[in-house]
Amino acid sequence: MSELIPVTEELLERARADRSFRQRLVAEHLDELMAAMSRARNRARADVKSDAVTARNLQEGARLAVKLTEILHNLSARSSPL
């Protein structure tokens, strides 16, 4: 996976104008989020004293992943021919 580029105003403008770019941007960030959550989960499993903050972060990441998946689904549905 390539290095994740932070979202800037310039990227947001391009994403607003280019549906394909928007879909790719969302998909890349979803992939990175899932990888980060997996790393955090693995670290928490290795650390017997995993704390509530880690659990909350994983829950928030899961909620964000669901939102990103919904966005991707909506983008795909709008770009698919009927």
- The reply to whether 49 falls in a domain is yes
Provide the domain count of the chain: 1
- The reply to whether 4 falls in a domain is no
pTM: 0.74
pLDDT of residue 1: 47
- The reply to whether 3 falls in a domain is no
- Residue 68 CA, chain-centre distance (Å), reads 6
pLDDT of residue 27: 92
- The reply to whether 2 falls in a domain is no
Mean pLDDT computed over 53-72: 91
pLDDT one-digit tens code per residue, 40-60: 888 887 776 677 888 888 999
- The reply to whether 40 falls in a domain is yes
Q: Answer for the pair 19, 65: CB distance below 8 angstroms, yes or no.
A: no
With a pLDDT cut of 90, the percent of the chain lying above it is: 43
- The reply to whether 39 falls in a domain is yes
Which range of residues forms the domain containing residue 63?
Answer: 9-79
- The reply to whether 50 falls in a domain is yes
Please provide the size of the chain in residues: 82
pLDDT of residue 3: 67
pLDDT of residue 10: 93
**Could you give the CA distance from residue 40 to residue 49 in angstroms, rounded to a whole number?**
13
